[in-house]
Amino acid sequence: MRNRLIVGNWKMHGSMATAVDLIMELEQGMESVPENIDVAVAPPFLHIDEVIRRSSNTRLLMAAQNVSAFEVGAVTGEVSSTMLADIGIRFVIVGHSERRSLFGESNETVAEKFARAYFSDLTPILCVGETQEQREAGFTEDVVLEQMYAIIDRIGIKPLLNAVVAYEPVWAIGTGASASPEQAQEVHALLRSKLASESEGQTVATRLIYGGSVKASNSAALFGQADIDGALVGGASLDAKEFLTICKHAGK
């Protein structure tokens, strides 16, 4: 049985003071979140160490928003997977649409980052998703499978079987327009089916989570779908009350 997973992606928001305030509010509210719900937050890099220190006595897990495709060396401005593992990071987001669109990360680059994370004993959260134009042209299935199979082509199926895949339709990220529960379920069912077909009899423990304008008002309906194992939450994760409500909905 897969525990549901809720991840708060804080993106490039807040100061050290607001990060501390937010983590303290979350700490106080975690008692009301069912024990079988895994909850992680992904602060900006500069705030991670302090957030880890402040949350050391809680159930909160730590995630990073990005990781280098390089292992070590003269790569100015990068943060390696081993560095993240060294400070207690559990998850790392790779392939977020903002990284793909704003920084030109290709499927191959994302696959390399996934591999670095996996071989450093981090759990990658692979983001896949289509643009509005791709959906309207009927290419949703082609796009998300190409993004997922880039990982399989790079390091095989096994690393994906215990990872996390986040379906994030690009047209729903930060727009307030979430995919309907039925639209999200359709893509999640497709991904689960393909993972099962590639697994060669191995157990598929992959958690499939949804991202894209997830809020307290729509999370319960999303979690009511058979193949949605949680959520990657953006803006709503900056409001402790809203985020905790989403976490509670995952337990119903």
- Strand 230-233 relative to strand 4-9: parallel, antiparallel, unpaired? parallel
Helix (H, G, I), strand (E, B) or coil at 120: coil
Q: Residue 176: count other Cβ atoms within 10 Å of its Cβ.
A: 9
Catalytic residue among 98, 105, 112, 168: 168
Please, what's the b/e burial string for 54-67 (b: 16 or more CB within 10 A of its CB; e: otherwise)?
A: bbeeeebbbbbbbb
Q: Is 13 a catalytic residue?
A: no
Catalytic residue among 47, 96, 188, 249: 96
Q: Is 168 a catalytic residue?
A: yes
Q: How far apart are CA 123 and CA 197, in angstroms?
A: 22
What residues have CB less than 8 Å from 2, skipping those under 6 apart? 205, 207, 229
Q: Say how many CA atoms lie within 13 Å of 92 toward its Cβ.
A: 30
Query: CB–CB of 112/99 below 8 Å?
Result: no
Helix (H, G, I), strand (E, B) or coil at 141: helix
Active-site positions read 96, 168
